[in-house]
Amino acid sequence: MNKEQIEAIKAELTKDITAQVMRDISSLPAFSEKYTNNPVCSPNTTLQYESTKASCLELPHMSDDDPEDIPEECELYIEGSNHVVAYANVYRLGPNIHNQVLNNDMVRVAVTKVIYANAKLPVPTDEVTTVGDAPNTFIQWPKRLLQLISNK
């Protein structure tokens, strides 16, 4: 084979591999529903400041005694993955959850839609250990492992 034939084969293989990867990504539930053309914020990134692209913003400050606590929709991630494991609402209803004080790096969420039911919770309780156990229950979630949908 000459150099031109090798380059043609490389180009064809690259095209085929790219097409296969895109098909594989599109078949994942989280990507096919939400992210085919949108960047995903890495859950390993600590969200402490505003991004210039507005894709990874810190939770906006709301007073704990704000009488009008409006939940905010968000996506939940687990450590070491950039795939959404669930959708939830973030609530600011005071500093305690299930008789425990929320740390500054945690928020109270209520899961509204489960994507990966077997995903382990970052802060499990005796009754709730996986995302599939969590709907209709307040749970603690690390701020750095969630993304507000309004910030996309």
| 23 and 85 housed in the same domain | no
| 76 and 21 housed in the same domain | no
Query: What's the whole-model pTM score?
Result: 0.54
Shortest CA distance to 87 belongs to which of 69, 105, 68, 71?
71
**Dist. CA 150–CA 57, nearest whole Å:** 10
The pLDDT of 47-58, averaged and rounded, is 36
Whether 65 is in a domain gets the answer no
Whether 80 is in a domain gets the answer yes
- Number of structural domains in the chain: 2
**What is the domain range of residue 144?**
72-151
- Supply 70's token pair: 């409006």
| 29 and 76 housed in the same domain | no
* Each residue's pLDDT tens digit, 119-128: 999 988 888 9
| 79 and 23 housed in the same domain | no
Whether 10 is in a domain gets the answer yes
